[in-house]
A and B are shown apart, each in its own frame.
Chain A
């Protein structure tokens, strides 16, 4: 069962492609981080998944349905857009009432408890809330709707580091409690490191890498050794990034096979290094070599 499945998905704004040729499969039941620099197409992908935006090319399927195709589909997907928009003229209580009236599966107990726990005052107009409180209110609306999939676009961007940690912890406990899938975007890997078990890296409107965090970490290696040409690497080692000094070469490779070359010092990568490696300029394709062992 896929939470989000896309094939050849693309979206064009006037002349610019915000997302192109995106093929991915995000499994259900996971917390998936969507990382990429600003303008990489994260928001576009989330908007497409929420049905806020129709695709220009390709298809996208969310929880087994076409995004935004009807009330049933809307019930399955919760979406907290960038900057956590709320009605500034409505109070916190009125937002909760809005959710209760517009969602048949509304979990009133959850909403009430959450509002109380995060310290929101019911009578306070949403326009007077701080960025963090607004994010909490928007998340409450998204969670109490009891969707199968929750999409969060930069949910912590407006929060200070402490509030960020609390928000994400809170999100994680809600995820564990209600068994929902989450896709959340951020341009900061550190935010995602603690909470995501899946990762999608978007660069220049394309998917650069996608997979389970654990697998990704075990498949990527940092190789350090005397300076050499990259052409001499075995063909099953995909070079993600490379840098040279006068005497030394550092490459980040992806391979499922063990590293046998004894001239390399093999190091493990953290998630942040891994993402940064993908964000840097891609290494031009080298001709695939026969594997010589």
Chain B
């Protein structure tokens, strides 16, 4: 069974691993330059490319390895050959599912290892310098391209492809649906789930001249403030709360914080003292700034939770596949 699985999938397997080898060589060559510097603006293109590769690989494995595994057989009628040897369908599918998922996990794990290693100087800066132009690795952009979580994505994408190929029975349609569903999951998990997987850290600070990082408003009316964020953290919220601890929907109308509206030509632009007084009054009125974030130290726990979640999901889908294959015709 392993022999047949390998024989049928070897072209796809070899192409993916050849691609991985190419990426590895490129990253090996460019890495020494990264270590020698702390100025990474020239490496932005390559950095983006590594992210892209990490995002694409699980999707590619799901679409090109997972989907055809069953649907192609159904389309060409060769399931009639495969299912009439002295091998039950469950064993036939189980072997392919197991071998395929394992190979997909190994491929993605290797790429993640290489990319995480290559990007470690950049991640180090992003983890300590709050002003760094790269996102810290706990933040969504880099999170999905580091550590062990991609292994979970790969397993999930692959099994998802197999399930959809089996249910839709048409390779092309199943490829498209797999891509859409996988992308949707990859967008929904970081936006809705990951932030709550571990209790986020909350910090409430007094707004001062030192920690203020942004303030905006219209027509001299203040409506949004942001303060300095902890380095290397994934900030979920940076919002102003009132004396009751509720998020302030509106801020009091204080003068001196913002430039006057353009219609009021006579008024002077705000000076340092005026702004300081404005913050003092905000503090007097009970306004504070609350920052909710996942600290850098949560990176590995979050990775573990997410990997376990996707592996469990893959296991569930795989179990469904093995039950479902008996009824297929």
Q: Which residues of A contact B (CB under 8 A)?
A: 47, 50-54, 68, 70-71, 74-75, 77-79, 81-83, 85-90, 94, 97-99, 101-105, 138, 141-142, 145
Size bracket of the B interface: 20 to 34
B residues near A89, Cβ cutoff 8 Å: 8
Residues of A within 8 Å of B87, CB to CB, are 71, 74, 102
Q: Is the CB of B86 within 8 A of A102?
A: yes
A50 CA to B91 CA in the complex, in Å?
A: 17
Which of B3, B8, B327 interacts with A87 by CB under 8 Å? B8
Residues from chain A with a CB closer than 8 A to the CB of B88 are 70-71, 74
Output the least CB separation between A151 and chain B (Å): 9
User: Is B84 an interface position by the 8 A CB rule?
Assistant: yes
Tell whether, in the assembled complex, residue B4 and residue A102 are in contact, meaning their CB atoms are under 8 Å apart.
Answer: yes
Instruction: Known pairs A52-B80, A75-B86, A87-B76; list 8 more (Cβ under 8 Å).
Output: A54-B329, A71-B88, A85-B80, A85-B81, A87-B8, A102-B4, A105-B86, A145-B85
Complex: how many Å from CA A88 to CA B88? 22
**Which of chain A's residues have a CB closer than 8 A to the CB of B89?**
68
B7 interface hit (Cβ, 8 Å): yes
In angstroms, Cα B76 to Cα A292, docked, is 61
Chain A nearest CB, measured from B166 CB (Å): 15
Which residues of B come within 8 Å of A, CB atoms? 1, 3-4, 7-8, 76-78, 80-81, 83-89, 91, 327, 329
Task: Kindly provide the distance from the CB of B91 to the nearest chain A CB, expressed in whole angstroms.
Answer: 8
Query: Which residues from A are CB-within-8-Å of B8?
Result: 87, 89-90
A97 and B3 contact, CB distance less than 8 A? yes
A104 contacts B86, CB within 8 Å?
yes
Query: What is the distance, in angstroms, from A163's C-beta to the closest C-beta of chain B?
Result: 21
Q: Determine how close the nearest CB of chain B comes to the CB of A130; give it in whole angstroms.
A: 17
Residue of A nearest to B11 (CB): A89
Q: Would you mind naming 16 contact pairs between A and B with Cβ atoms under 8 Å apart?
A: A53-B329, A71-B86, A86-B78, A87-B76, A98-B3, A98-B4, A98-B7, A99-B85, A101-B3, A102-B1, A102-B86, A102-B87, A103-B86, A138-B81, A142-B84, A145-B86
Q: Determine the chain A residues whose CB is within 8 A of the CB of B81 once the complex forms.
A: 81, 85-87, 98, 138, 141
Is B4's CB under 8 angstroms from A101's CB?
yes
With a 10 A CB-CB cut-off, give which of B3, B8, B77, B80 has the most chain A CB atoms: B80
In the complex, what's the smallest C-beta–C-beta distance from B29 to chain A, in angstroms? 36
Residues of the B chain whose Cβ atoms lie less than 8 Å from the Cβ of A105: 86
Instruction: Report the Cα distance A102→B95, complex, angstroms.
Output: 13
